[in-house]
A and B are shown apart, each in its own frame.
Chain A
Protein backbone atom coordinates (compact mmCIF):
# COMPACT_ATOMS: atom_id res chain seq x y z
CA UNK A 1 0.00 0.00 0.00
CA UNK A 2 1.34 3.41 -0.98
CA UNK A 3 1.95 6.00 1.70
CA UNK A 4 -0.88 8.56 1.70
CA UNK A 5 1.36 11.58 2.36
CA UNK A 6 4.77 12.12 0.80
CA UNK A 7 7.52 14.17 2.44
CA UNK A 8 6.51 17.14 0.26
CA UNK A 9 2.91 17.01 1.53
CA UNK A 10 4.20 16.92 5.09
CA UNK A 11 6.39 19.92 4.22
CA UNK A 12 3.36 21.89 2.94
CA UNK A 13 1.43 20.99 6.09
CA UNK A 14 4.28 22.14 8.34
CA UNK A 15 4.47 25.37 6.30
CA UNK A 16 0.70 25.84 6.87
CA UNK A 17 1.19 25.33 10.61
CA UNK A 18 4.07 27.82 10.73
CA UNK A 19 2.03 30.38 8.74
CA UNK A 20 -0.93 29.93 11.10
CA UNK A 21 1.29 30.47 14.17
CA UNK A 22 2.92 33.53 12.57
CA UNK A 23 -0.53 34.93 11.65
CA UNK A 24 -1.76 34.46 15.23
CA UNK A 25 1.32 36.12 16.71
CA UNK A 26 1.30 39.08 14.31
CA UNK A 27 -2.46 39.54 14.87
CA UNK A 28 -1.70 40.13 18.55
CA UNK A 29 0.88 42.85 17.95
CA UNK A 30 -0.40 44.76 14.91
CA UNK A 31 -3.09 47.44 15.19
CA UNK A 32 -4.38 47.55 11.62
CA UNK A 33 -4.71 44.88 8.92
CA UNK A 34 -1.64 42.95 7.76
CA UNK A 35 -0.30 44.16 4.38
CA UNK A 36 -1.30 40.98 2.51
CA UNK A 37 -4.77 41.02 4.06
CA UNK A 38 -5.02 44.71 3.24
CA UNK A 39 -4.09 44.09 -0.39
CA UNK A 40 -6.50 41.17 -0.81
CA UNK A 41 -9.42 42.93 0.86
CA UNK A 42 -8.73 46.18 -0.99
CA UNK A 43 -8.94 44.25 -4.25
CA UNK A 44 -12.03 42.34 -3.17
CA UNK A 45 -13.83 45.37 -1.70
CA UNK A 46 -15.35 46.68 -4.98
CA UNK A 47 -16.27 43.12 -6.02
CA UNK A 48 -17.98 42.53 -2.68
CA UNK A 49 -19.81 45.86 -2.87
CA UNK A 50 -21.03 45.01 -6.36
CA UNK A 51 -22.11 41.50 -5.31
CA UNK A 52 -23.94 42.86 -2.25
CA UNK A 53 -25.73 45.50 -4.34
CA UNK A 54 -26.66 42.86 -6.89
CA UNK A 55 -27.99 40.58 -4.12
CA UNK A 56 -29.98 43.50 -2.66
CA UNK A 57 -31.43 44.30 -6.09
CA UNK A 58 -32.38 40.68 -6.72
CA UNK A 59 -33.91 40.51 -3.24
CA UNK A 60 -35.92 43.69 -3.77
CA UNK A 61 -36.91 42.51 -7.24
CA UNK A 62 -38.11 39.19 -5.77
CA UNK A 63 -40.12 41.04 -3.12
CA UNK A 64 -41.47 43.28 -5.81
CA UNK A 65 -42.48 40.29 -7.97
CA UNK A 66 -44.30 38.76 -5.04
CA UNK A 67 -46.35 41.91 -4.54
CA UNK A 68 -46.71 42.31 -8.26
CA UNK A 69 -48.36 38.89 -8.63
CA UNK A 70 -51.07 39.95 -6.20
CA UNK A 71 -51.62 43.18 -8.09
CA UNK A 72 -51.61 41.38 -11.42
CA UNK A 73 -54.53 39.23 -10.36
CA UNK A 74 -56.53 42.39 -9.73
CA UNK A 75 -55.41 44.38 -12.70
CA UNK A 76 -53.53 42.61 -15.46
CA UNK A 77 -53.81 45.48 -17.91
CA UNK A 78 -51.57 47.70 -15.73
CA UNK A 79 -48.68 45.21 -15.79
CA UNK A 80 -46.25 47.19 -17.89
CA UNK A 81 -47.12 50.47 -16.22
CA UNK A 82 -46.66 48.94 -12.78
CA UNK A 83 -43.24 47.55 -13.67
CA UNK A 84 -42.08 51.00 -14.72
CA UNK A 85 -43.64 52.63 -11.67
CA UNK A 86 -42.10 49.94 -9.46
CA UNK A 87 -38.62 50.74 -10.78
CA UNK A 88 -39.12 54.42 -10.07
CA UNK A 89 -40.54 53.75 -6.61
CA UNK A 90 -37.63 51.51 -5.67
CA UNK A 91 -35.05 54.11 -6.61
CA UNK A 92 -37.11 56.86 -4.98
CA UNK A 93 -37.37 54.82 -1.76
CA UNK A 94 -33.64 54.32 -1.78
CA UNK A 95 -33.05 58.08 -2.15
CA UNK A 96 -35.68 58.82 0.48
CA UNK A 97 -34.04 56.47 2.98
CA UNK A 98 -30.64 58.01 2.32
CA UNK A 99 -32.11 61.50 2.62
CA UNK A 100 -33.77 60.60 5.93
CA UNK A 101 -30.50 59.18 7.26
CA UNK A 102 -28.60 62.31 6.26
CA UNK A 103 -31.24 64.57 7.87
CA UNK A 104 -30.94 62.59 11.11
CA UNK A 105 -27.18 62.79 10.80
CA UNK A 106 -27.39 66.57 10.46
CA UNK A 107 -29.39 66.61 13.71
CA UNK A 108 -26.86 64.37 15.42
CA UNK A 109 -23.97 66.58 14.32
CA UNK A 110 -25.79 69.65 15.61
CA UNK A 111 -26.08 67.96 19.04
CA UNK A 112 -22.53 66.61 19.07
CA UNK A 113 -20.30 69.10 17.34
CA UNK A 114 -17.26 67.23 18.62
CA UNK A 115 -18.07 64.07 16.63
CA UNK A 116 -16.06 63.62 13.49
CA UNK A 117 -17.91 61.03 11.42
CA UNK A 118 -17.20 59.00 8.32
CA UNK A 119 -20.20 57.52 6.54
CA UNK A 120 -19.86 54.00 5.13
CA UNK A 121 -21.92 51.41 3.34
CA UNK A 122 -21.92 47.73 4.23
CA UNK A 123 -20.15 45.74 1.53
CA UNK A 124 -20.27 42.22 3.01
CA UNK A 125 -21.61 40.39 6.04
CA UNK A 126 -19.59 38.02 8.19
CA UNK A 127 -19.67 34.53 6.69
CA UNK A 128 -19.19 32.82 10.04
CA UNK A 129 -22.11 31.54 12.07
CA UNK A 130 -20.09 32.03 15.28
CA UNK A 131 -19.95 35.81 15.35
CA UNK A 132 -21.79 38.91 14.20
CA UNK A 133 -20.04 41.41 11.98
CA UNK A 134 -19.74 43.00 8.59
CA UNK A 135 -17.32 44.75 6.28
CA UNK A 136 -17.70 48.42 5.34
CA UNK A 137 -16.35 50.25 2.30
CA UNK A 138 -14.24 52.81 4.21
CA UNK A 139 -10.80 52.28 5.69
CA UNK A 140 -7.58 53.88 6.88
CA UNK A 141 -7.43 56.24 3.90
CA UNK A 142 -10.64 57.85 5.21
CA UNK A 143 -9.35 57.98 8.80
CA UNK A 144 -10.96 54.79 10.05
CA UNK A 145 -8.86 52.70 12.44
CA UNK A 146 -9.21 49.80 14.86
CA UNK A 147 -11.12 50.52 18.06
CA UNK A 148 -13.41 53.23 16.67
CA UNK A 149 -17.11 53.15 17.40
CA UNK A 150 -19.75 52.58 14.70
CA UNK A 151 -23.22 54.09 15.04
CA UNK A 152 -26.36 54.79 13.05
CA UNK A 153 -27.60 58.25 12.11
CA UNK A 154 -29.79 58.15 15.25
CA UNK A 155 -26.99 57.76 17.83
CA UNK A 156 -27.63 54.01 18.08
CA UNK A 157 -24.57 51.87 18.76
CA UNK A 158 -23.83 49.34 16.03
CA UNK A 159 -20.39 48.03 17.01
CA UNK A 160 -16.67 48.49 16.89
CA UNK A 161 -13.99 48.52 14.17
CA UNK A 162 -11.89 45.39 14.66
CA UNK A 163 -9.73 45.50 11.55
CA UNK A 164 -8.98 48.27 9.07
CA UNK A 165 -7.44 48.21 5.62
CA UNK A 166 -6.96 50.94 3.02
CA UNK A 167 -10.54 51.04 1.67
CA UNK A 168 -12.31 48.52 3.92
CA UNK A 169 -12.83 47.81 7.61
CA UNK A 170 -14.47 45.03 9.55
CA UNK A 171 -17.01 45.81 12.24
CA UNK A 172 -17.87 43.58 15.18
CA UNK A 173 -21.50 44.30 16.08
CA UNK A 174 -22.82 44.65 19.62
CA UNK A 175 -24.47 41.22 19.17
CA UNK A 176 -21.12 39.43 18.85
CA UNK A 177 -20.43 37.09 21.80
CA UNK A 178 -17.11 38.86 22.51
CA UNK A 179 -18.57 42.39 22.49
CA UNK A 180 -18.68 44.28 25.83
CA UNK A 181 -19.84 47.85 26.45
CA UNK A 182 -20.06 49.73 29.73
CA UNK A 183 -23.77 50.56 29.96
CA UNK A 184 -26.25 52.43 32.10
CA UNK A 185 -30.03 52.28 32.43
CA UNK A 186 -31.25 55.74 31.43
CA UNK A 187 -33.15 57.54 34.17
CA UNK A 188 -32.35 55.23 37.10
CA UNK A 189 -28.60 55.22 36.41
CA UNK A 190 -28.02 51.54 37.20
CA UNK A 191 -24.71 50.47 35.69
CA UNK A 192 -23.78 47.18 34.05
CA UNK A 193 -22.04 45.66 31.07
CA UNK A 194 -23.91 45.17 27.80
CA UNK A 195 -22.52 41.95 26.35
CA UNK A 196 -23.14 39.94 23.25
CA UNK A 197 -24.37 36.45 23.98
CA UNK A 198 -24.20 33.46 21.64
CA UNK A 199 -27.64 32.21 22.77
CA UNK A 200 -29.22 35.64 22.13
CA UNK A 201 -27.29 36.48 18.94
CA UNK A 202 -29.68 34.52 16.74
CA UNK A 203 -32.70 36.42 18.07
CA UNK A 204 -30.84 39.72 17.63
CA UNK A 205 -30.65 40.57 21.34
CA UNK A 206 -27.89 41.16 23.88
CA UNK A 207 -27.50 40.92 27.62
CA UNK A 208 -26.78 43.55 30.28
CA UNK A 209 -24.94 41.80 33.12
CA UNK A 210 -23.71 42.71 36.60
CA UNK A 211 -26.75 44.75 37.60
CA UNK A 212 -27.33 45.16 41.31
CA UNK A 213 -29.96 42.79 42.77
CA UNK A 214 -31.69 45.89 44.18
CA UNK A 215 -31.93 47.53 40.77
CA UNK A 216 -35.49 48.34 39.76
CA UNK A 217 -35.62 48.05 36.02
CA UNK A 218 -38.72 48.03 33.87
CA UNK A 219 -39.24 46.58 30.44
CA UNK A 220 -38.79 49.33 27.89
CA UNK A 221 -36.19 51.27 29.91
CA UNK A 222 -33.53 52.68 27.63
CA UNK A 223 -29.91 51.55 27.95
CA UNK A 224 -27.13 53.99 27.03
CA UNK A 225 -23.33 53.97 26.93
CA UNK A 226 -21.61 55.37 30.03
CA UNK A 227 -18.59 56.72 28.17
CA UNK A 228 -16.10 55.07 30.51
CA UNK A 229 -13.13 53.90 28.51
CA UNK A 230 -12.31 55.83 25.38
CA UNK A 231 -14.11 53.69 22.79
CA UNK A 232 -17.80 54.51 23.04
CA UNK A 233 -18.77 58.14 23.73
CA UNK A 234 -21.24 58.79 26.53
CA UNK A 235 -24.97 58.85 25.78
CA UNK A 236 -25.18 56.61 22.73
CA UNK A 237 -28.29 54.43 22.66
CA UNK A 238 -27.66 50.71 23.01
CA UNK A 239 -31.27 49.54 23.19
CA UNK A 240 -34.21 48.96 25.49
CA UNK A 241 -34.84 46.40 28.23
CA UNK A 242 -36.94 43.43 27.10
CA UNK A 243 -36.71 41.29 30.23
CA UNK A 244 -34.98 41.22 33.64
CA UNK A 245 -33.93 38.19 35.71
CA UNK A 246 -31.55 37.07 38.44
CA UNK A 247 -28.37 35.37 37.23
CA UNK A 248 -27.67 31.70 38.03
CA UNK A 249 -25.60 32.46 41.14
CA UNK A 250 -28.25 34.88 42.40
CA UNK A 251 -25.68 37.59 43.18
CA UNK A 252 -26.68 39.99 40.44
CA UNK A 253 -29.42 40.71 37.96
CA UNK A 254 -29.21 40.69 34.21
CA UNK A 255 -31.41 42.23 31.55
CA UNK A 256 -32.15 41.11 28.02
CA UNK A 257 -31.83 44.07 25.66
CA UNK A 258 -33.40 44.70 22.29
CA UNK A 259 -30.79 46.73 20.42
CA UNK A 260 -31.97 50.11 19.14
CA UNK A 261 -30.16 49.61 15.82
CA UNK A 262 -31.69 46.97 13.58
CA UNK A 263 -28.33 45.35 12.91
CA UNK A 264 -29.58 42.88 10.30
CA UNK A 265 -31.26 45.58 8.19
CA UNK A 266 -28.42 48.11 8.14
CA UNK A 267 -27.23 49.51 4.83
CA UNK A 268 -25.31 52.60 5.91
CA UNK A 269 -23.41 53.30 9.14
CA UNK A 270 -21.23 56.08 10.56
CA UNK A 271 -17.82 55.66 12.16
CA UNK A 272 -16.89 58.13 14.91
CA UNK A 273 -13.28 58.76 14.00
CA UNK A 274 -12.79 61.32 16.77
CA UNK A 275 -14.69 62.98 19.63
CA UNK A 276 -13.94 64.98 22.77
CA UNK A 277 -13.28 62.39 25.44
CA UNK A 278 -14.13 63.61 28.93
CA UNK A 279 -12.48 60.75 30.80
Chain B
Protein backbone atom coordinates (compact mmCIF):
# COMPACT_ATOMS: atom_id res chain seq x y z
CA UNK B 1 0.00 0.00 0.00
CA UNK B 2 2.76 2.33 1.09
CA UNK B 3 4.83 1.44 -1.98
CA UNK B 4 1.85 1.88 -4.29
CA UNK B 5 1.21 5.34 -2.90
CA UNK B 6 4.89 6.18 -3.13
CA UNK B 7 4.95 5.38 -6.85
CA UNK B 8 1.67 7.18 -7.40
CA UNK B 9 3.13 10.29 -5.75
CA UNK B 10 6.30 9.94 -7.83
CA UNK B 11 4.25 9.75 -11.04
CA UNK B 12 2.17 12.77 -10.00
CA UNK B 13 5.28 14.77 -9.13
CA UNK B 14 6.94 13.93 -12.46
CA UNK B 15 3.81 14.86 -14.43
CA UNK B 16 3.64 18.16 -12.49
CA UNK B 17 7.31 18.71 -13.33
CA UNK B 18 6.57 18.00 -17.00
CA UNK B 19 3.83 20.68 -17.02
CA UNK B 20 6.14 23.16 -15.26
CA UNK B 21 8.97 22.42 -17.69
CA UNK B 22 6.58 22.93 -20.63
CA UNK B 23 5.49 26.28 -19.16
CA UNK B 24 9.08 27.47 -18.61
CA UNK B 25 10.40 26.22 -21.97
CA UNK B 26 7.59 27.76 -24.02
CA UNK B 27 8.34 31.16 -22.50
CA UNK B 28 12.12 31.03 -22.65
CA UNK B 29 13.49 28.66 -25.29
CA UNK B 30 10.71 27.80 -27.74
CA UNK B 31 9.75 31.40 -28.47
CA UNK B 32 13.33 31.99 -29.64
CA UNK B 33 12.73 29.37 -32.31
CA UNK B 34 9.75 30.77 -34.23
CA UNK B 35 8.50 28.97 -37.31
CA UNK B 36 6.38 30.86 -39.86
CA UNK B 37 6.36 33.78 -37.43
CA UNK B 38 4.78 31.88 -34.54
CA UNK B 39 6.06 30.11 -31.45
CA UNK B 40 4.65 26.79 -30.20
CA UNK B 41 2.35 26.15 -27.23
CA UNK B 42 3.82 23.35 -25.15
CA UNK B 43 1.61 23.53 -22.07
CA UNK B 44 -1.71 22.40 -23.69
CA UNK B 45 0.11 19.59 -25.50
CA UNK B 46 1.88 18.45 -22.32
CA UNK B 47 -1.41 18.61 -20.39
CA UNK B 48 -3.35 16.56 -22.93
CA UNK B 49 -0.55 13.98 -23.31
CA UNK B 50 -0.64 13.55 -19.53
CA UNK B 51 -4.45 13.60 -19.33
CA UNK B 52 -4.76 10.70 -21.79
CA UNK B 53 -2.78 8.43 -19.44
CA UNK B 54 -5.70 8.25 -16.98
CA UNK B 55 -9.48 8.47 -16.66
CA UNK B 56 -11.74 11.41 -17.56
CA UNK B 57 -11.54 12.50 -13.94
CA UNK B 58 -7.74 12.41 -13.96
CA UNK B 59 -7.75 14.25 -17.30
CA UNK B 60 -10.06 16.97 -15.96
CA UNK B 61 -7.82 17.44 -12.91
CA UNK B 62 -4.67 17.63 -15.07
CA UNK B 63 -6.44 20.04 -17.45
CA UNK B 64 -7.48 22.20 -14.50
CA UNK B 65 -3.91 22.19 -13.13
CA UNK B 66 -2.48 23.00 -16.58
CA UNK B 67 -5.02 25.79 -17.09
CA UNK B 68 -4.21 27.30 -13.71
CA UNK B 69 -0.48 27.11 -14.44
CA UNK B 70 -1.00 28.81 -17.81
CA UNK B 71 -3.12 31.55 -16.26
CA UNK B 72 -1.01 32.18 -13.17
CA UNK B 73 2.43 31.62 -14.61
CA UNK B 74 2.13 32.10 -18.36
CA UNK B 75 -0.19 35.08 -18.65
CA UNK B 76 -2.87 33.11 -20.51
CA UNK B 77 -6.49 34.31 -20.42
CA UNK B 78 -8.73 32.95 -17.62
CA UNK B 79 -10.79 31.27 -20.34
CA UNK B 80 -7.85 28.88 -20.75
CA UNK B 81 -8.67 27.23 -17.38
CA UNK B 82 -12.10 25.69 -18.21
CA UNK B 83 -11.09 25.03 -21.82
CA UNK B 84 -8.02 23.01 -20.88
CA UNK B 85 -10.02 21.27 -18.15
CA UNK B 86 -12.62 20.24 -20.76
CA UNK B 87 -9.90 19.13 -23.19
CA UNK B 88 -8.21 17.08 -20.44
CA UNK B 89 -11.49 15.44 -19.45
CA UNK B 90 -12.22 14.59 -23.10
CA UNK B 91 -8.71 13.18 -23.59
CA UNK B 92 -8.93 11.03 -20.45
CA UNK B 93 -12.50 9.89 -21.19
CA UNK B 94 -11.88 9.07 -24.84
CA UNK B 95 -8.67 7.17 -24.10
CA UNK B 96 -10.35 5.16 -21.33
CA UNK B 97 -13.22 4.07 -23.55
CA UNK B 98 -12.51 4.42 -27.27
CA UNK B 99 -8.87 5.15 -28.08
CA UNK B 100 -5.61 3.41 -27.25
CA UNK B 101 -2.94 5.36 -25.36
CA UNK B 102 -0.65 5.53 -28.38
CA UNK B 103 0.94 8.30 -30.42
CA UNK B 104 -1.80 8.70 -33.04
CA UNK B 105 -4.55 9.46 -30.50
CA UNK B 106 -2.05 11.75 -28.75
CA UNK B 107 -1.64 13.72 -31.98
CA UNK B 108 -5.40 13.83 -32.60
CA UNK B 109 -6.17 14.89 -29.03
CA UNK B 110 -3.39 17.51 -29.11
CA UNK B 111 -4.90 18.90 -32.31
CA UNK B 112 -8.33 19.00 -30.67
CA UNK B 113 -6.93 20.70 -27.55
CA UNK B 114 -4.93 23.31 -29.43
CA UNK B 115 -7.95 24.23 -31.55
CA UNK B 116 -10.23 24.19 -28.50
CA UNK B 117 -7.89 26.56 -26.65
CA UNK B 118 -6.95 28.87 -29.53
CA UNK B 119 -10.16 29.22 -31.58
CA UNK B 120 -12.13 30.97 -28.78
CA UNK B 121 -9.15 33.34 -28.22
CA UNK B 122 -9.06 34.09 -31.96
CA UNK B 123 -12.86 34.63 -32.05
CA UNK B 124 -12.73 36.90 -29.00
CA UNK B 125 -9.82 38.95 -30.40
CA UNK B 126 -11.63 39.32 -33.74
CA UNK B 127 -14.80 40.40 -31.92
CA UNK B 128 -12.86 43.00 -29.88
CA UNK B 129 -11.10 44.22 -33.02
CA UNK B 130 -7.64 43.27 -31.75
CA UNK B 131 -6.98 40.77 -34.56
CA UNK B 132 -8.24 40.32 -38.13
CA UNK B 133 -10.13 37.22 -39.30
CA UNK B 134 -7.08 36.27 -41.37
CA UNK B 135 -5.23 35.58 -38.09
CA UNK B 136 -6.89 32.17 -38.22
CA UNK B 137 -4.60 31.23 -41.10
CA UNK B 138 -1.64 33.35 -40.04
CA UNK B 139 -1.53 32.47 -36.34
CA UNK B 140 -3.89 29.68 -35.24
CA UNK B 141 -3.08 27.26 -38.06
CA UNK B 142 0.77 27.53 -38.07
CA UNK B 143 0.81 27.65 -34.26
CA UNK B 144 -1.26 24.44 -34.10
CA UNK B 145 0.92 22.65 -36.66
CA UNK B 146 4.14 23.82 -35.01
CA UNK B 147 2.93 22.81 -31.53
CA UNK B 148 1.95 19.38 -32.86
CA UNK B 149 5.60 18.77 -33.77
CA UNK B 150 6.35 18.65 -30.04
CA UNK B 151 3.62 16.07 -29.36
CA UNK B 152 5.77 12.94 -29.92
CA UNK B 153 8.39 14.13 -27.42
CA UNK B 154 5.87 15.20 -24.78
CA UNK B 155 3.80 12.06 -25.34
CA UNK B 156 6.89 9.89 -24.94
CA UNK B 157 7.85 11.58 -21.67
CA UNK B 158 4.34 11.37 -20.27
CA UNK B 159 3.90 7.76 -21.42
CA UNK B 160 7.23 6.82 -19.81
CA UNK B 161 6.21 8.44 -16.51
CA UNK B 162 2.96 6.42 -16.52
CA UNK B 163 5.02 3.23 -16.39
CA UNK B 164 6.79 4.05 -13.13
CA UNK B 165 5.99 0.92 -11.13
CA UNK B 166 2.32 0.50 -12.08
CA UNK B 167 0.79 -2.09 -9.82
State A6–B39 Cα separation when bound (angstroms).
Answer: 36
**For this complex, into which size category does the number of interface residues on chain B fall?**
35 or more
List A residues at the B interface (Cβ < 8 Å).
2, 4-6, 8-9, 12-13, 15-17, 19-21, 23-24, 27, 34, 36-37, 40-41, 44, 47-48, 51-52, 54-55, 59, 123-130, 133, 135, 163, 170, 177-178, 198-199, 202
Report B157 CB to chain A, min CB distance, Å.
17
State A40–B75 Cα separation when bound (angstroms).
Answer: 12
Check B64–A44 contact: CB distance below 8 A: no
Interface residues of B, dominant DSSP:
helix
**What string of 1s and 0s marks CB contacts (under 8 Å) between B22-50 and chain A?**
01111111111000011101010000000
Check B132–A198 contact: CB distance below 8 A: yes
State A207–B61 Cα separation when bound (angstroms).
Answer: 43
B97 in the interface (beta carbon within 8 A): yes
Check A9–B28 contact: CB distance below 8 A: no
B131 closest partner in A (C-beta): A198
B104 in the interface (beta carbon within 8 A): no
Q: Do A199 and B132 form a contact, CB below 8 Å, given A48-B24, A125-B31?
A: yes
Interchain residue pairs with CB less than 8 A apart (13): A2-B97, A6-B57, A13-B85, A16-B85, A19-B68, A27-B78, A51-B24, A124-B27, A125-B27, A126-B31, A127-B27, A127-B74, A198-B130
Check B56–A6 contact: CB distance below 8 A: yes
B121 in the interface (beta carbon within 8 A): yes
